[in-house]
Amino acid sequence: MSRARECQPTLNGTNVIIRPWHIDDADAVYAACQDSAIQRWTTVPSPYGRSDAIDYVTSIAASAWMDGGGIFAIVVAATGRVAGSIGAHRMAAGVAHIGYWSVPDLRGNGFVTEALRIVTRWFLIERRGARVELVVEPANGASTRVAERAGFTFEGILRQWMDLRGRRIDVAMYSFIPTDIGGALRDSHS
């Protein structure tokens, strides 16, 4: 089946549901992306407008799926509320690069850590991927913690690896490969 006709899946966890974005989610994305931490640590447009949110949940999400990746809403299983976003991007040669953000007032509940475990497992098992990468600014303590709690391995610092809004930054490279499955991923989501 071609990628265009294959439906992006919904992935069920314990406390979160990982599902495709809908146009009705645009207001939640717009509100979340006003947050200063999301603006500081990620590549979302800044300032972030309503049209950016609409593009994200429609054309950007659709393009990611067509390109072999997937951008998903992280939804609180108990309430159905959008808690954040997680996406696999830049898929090439079996390698996915994952990025995420969460809604400020829902942070610290473990939702993104669980979402990262789920999407990593989905990519490595269902999509037969070879490697998942995360690049995090070393000063981003919350994201570093998410990577470690999800069982990713710190590989080192990549110096001046990317330009983030005019700042050339060092990043910490974290990875997860199929032989890592069995610990963090399997424990929580078998």
Ligand X SMILES: CC(C)(COP(=O)(O)OP(=O)(O)OC[C@H]1O[C@@H](n2cnc3c(N)ncnc32)[C@H](O)[C@@H]1OP(=O)(O)O)[C@@H](O)C(=O)NCCC(=O)NCCS
Chain residues binding ligand X by CB under 6 A are: 37-38, 41-42, 100-102, 107-113, 136, 140-143, 145-146, 149
Question: Min. distance of Cβ 6 from ligand X in angstroms?
Answer: 28
Tokens 């990620």 belong to residue = 42
Give the N- to C-terminal CA distance of the chain in Å, as an integer.
Answer: 27
Report the distance separating Cα 101 and Cα 84, nearest Å: 6
CA dist 36 and 73 (Å) reads 20
**Closest CB to ligand X among 70 and 99?**
99
Residue number with CB closer to ligand X (5 or 47): 47
Residue number closest to ligand X, CB atom: 141
The CA distance from 127 to 49, in Å, is 33
Structure tokens at 148: 């470690």
Q: How far is CA 83 from the centre of its chain?
A: 12
**101/122 with CB nearer ligand X:** 101
Return the number of the residue (12 or 109) whose C-beta is nearest ligand X: 109
CB 115, min distance to ligand X, A:
8
Q: How far is the CB of 135 from ligand X (least distance, A)?
A: 7
